[in-house]
Amino acid sequence: MISPKDFVEHLNELGVSMFVGVPDSLLKPLGQYVMAELPREQHIITADEGAAVGVALGHYLRTSNPALVYLQNSGFGNAVNPLLSLADPDVYGTPMVLVVGWRGQPGVKDEPQHVKQGRVMTQMIEAMELPYAVLPHEPEAALACMTDAVSTAVDSAGPYVVLVEKGTFESIATDAPLTAEVAARPPREEALEALLAQVSDNAIIIATTGMLSRELFELREKDGSDSSRDFLTVGGMGHASAIALGVAQSEPDREVWCFDGDGAALMHLGTMANIADHGRSNFFHAVFNNGVHDSVGGQPTSISVVDLPAAATALGYRSASSTTELSALAELVTEMRAQTGPSLVELNIKPGARSDLGRPTRTPAESRQRFVSAVAR
C-alpha cells in the first residue's frame, strides 16, 4: 500500500502545488493527510467535482503548475463538462491530474449505485480521449506512475486520469476531536427520529444519499412504521431536493419533505432557487447539518461560512429556521406549516454514525416500485 505522505511529497517535488476536490471513501487516507498537513491556500474541498476542475484551471493560469483534482468516480459526471469544454487540449489546454476513486470496479463487490458507473468508467475516459492509468499498489511503482501522469499532462497540455482501487492507500491516524459546542449537539439518528415524530403520517419523504437514508431505513424497521412513501436516494449526491421538487409538482395534497445533508445541499445549491420558484406550499426541506462529508471520511464542507436559513430566504423560500435543540422542533414545524412552503429547517447535529449501521435490504428497483405504488394509492 502507498503512504499518503510519500505520495503528496512526491507530487510536490513534481511541481503539483494545489490539491482540490470532493472527498471519497477510497481516497480517505489521502484526503485526511492533505487536510491535516497542507495549508489552506494549497487545499480546497469544493462543493462539486466540476468546480474542482475550475479551481485547478485557475491555479494553472496563475502559477503555470498543474493541480491534483481528487474525486470519487460517481461524481465524474459533474466534471465532464469543464474537462471537455475548458481544460481539454482543444480548448484552454490545461494540465491537471485527476485522482479518481474507482467505486464499482468490475470484480469488486460494491453498492448497487456504483456498479454501472464502475463498469463503464474506463470506456467513459476513453470516449473523452483522456490518457489514464490505474495506480499500482506497490509504492515505487505508484510514484513512477504519478511522475508519468504529471509529465504527460504537462506535455499534452490537458488532464490525465489516475484510477485508484480499493485498499491502495495506507490508513493514517487522525486526531480531530470535536469542539465542546459540536459534541453537545444531538446525533443525526436522534434528530431524524425527532423530526419524523413531527412529519405528517401520510407525508412523502425524499432522503439524501449516505448515512441519513440508511438511518431512516433502520428507524422504520425498528419501529415498524410505514416506509412505503420514503424514497431513499442511494446515489446522485445533491439531487434529492430536485427529486423532491419533481414529486411535489404532481402532489397537491400530501406534504413532501426533503431530508438533506449539508454537503449535498451545497453541491447543487441552485436547485433551492428552483424550489422557491416552483415549489408548492406543501414542500418542506430539512437539512441535517453536521459540517462534514460524513459518509466518506468526515472531511469538512464549507457550510461553516454559510447562514443557511438566510441563504434559503434570499433564494426565495417562504420561511427558514435553524436549531440545535430537538425540543424546539414541534414549534418550528408548526410554524413552517403556518407560513406554508417552500420552507426550510436546519438541524445542527454532530458528525458520526453507529459503527453497526446497516444498509437498506431492498434493491433500488424494488424501492422505486414500492414508492410508486404507495404514492399512487
Q: Which residue has the cell 503555470?
A: 64
Q: What is the mean pLDDT of the chain?
A: 95
Q: In what order do the strands lie in the sheet with 230-232?
A: 230-232, 204-207, 256-261, 283-289, 343-348, 319-323
Asked whether the beta carbons of 215 and 351 are under 8 A apart, the reply is: no
3-state secondary structure 21-37: ECCCCCCHHHHHHHHHH
Region 4-12: mean pLDDT is 98
- Give the integer Cα–Cα distance in Å for 23 and 189: 22
Long-range contacts of residues 171-174, Cβ cutoff 8 Å, at least 24 apart? 171/28, 171/29, 172/4, 172/5, 172/29, 172/32, 172/33, 174/32, 174/36
Domains of the chain: 4-164 (3.40.50.970), 181-376 (3.40.50.970)
pLDDT at 295: 80
In the chain, the amino acid numbered 77 is G
Question: What are the residue ranges of helices labelled H in 164-226?
Answer: 180-183, 188-196, 211-223
Quick one: average pLDDT of 318-335? 97
Main-chain dihedrals φ then ψ at residue 7, nearest 5 degrees: -60, -50
Q: Is the pLDDT of residue 174 over 80?
A: no
Q: Cell 431505513, residue?
A: 217
Closest CA to 100 of 65, 84, 124: 124
Of the candidates 349, 329, 320, 20, the one whose C-alpha atom is nearest the C-alpha of residue 211 is: 349
Model confidence over 356-370: pLDDT tens digits? 888 888 999 999 999
The answer to whether 68 and 99 are in contact (CB under 8 A) is: yes
175 confidence band (pLDDT: 50, 70, 90): low
Q: Does position 112 have pLDDT exceeding 80, yes or no?
A: yes
Q: What's the grid cell of residue 62? A: 496563475
Contact 46, 55 (CB under 8 A): yes
Distance CA 207, CA 212 (A): 7
| 292: confidence class by pLDDT, cuts 50, 70, 90 | very high
Can you give the pLDDT at residue 358?
Answer: 87
Q: Could you tell me which residues are beta bridge partners of residue 230?
A: 205
- pLDDT for res 228: 94
The closest of 164, 168, 134 to 148, measured between CA atoms, is: 134
Name which of 20, 28, 119, 128 is nearest 74 in CA terms: 119
Q: How many angstroms separate the CA atoms of 223 and 245, rounded?
A: 28
Query: Is residue 341 pLDDT above 70, yes or no?
Result: yes
- Please give the average per-residue pLDDT across 3-14, as a whole number: 98
pLDDT at 327 over 80: yes
Which pLDDT tens digit goes with each residue over 179-233? 898 999 999 999 999 999 999 999 999 999 999 999 999 999 998 988 999 999 9
Distance CA 239, CA 103 (A): 19
User: Would you say the pTM of this structure is higher than 0.85?
Assistant: yes
pLDDT at 297: 78
pLDDT at 273 exceeding the cut of 90: yes
Residue 298: pLDDT above 90?
Answer: no
Mean pLDDT score, 234-256: 95
Contact between 212 and 192 under an 8 Å Cβ cutoff? The reply is yes
Q: Is 136 exposed, middle or buried (0-12, 13-18, 19+ CB in 10 A)?
A: middle
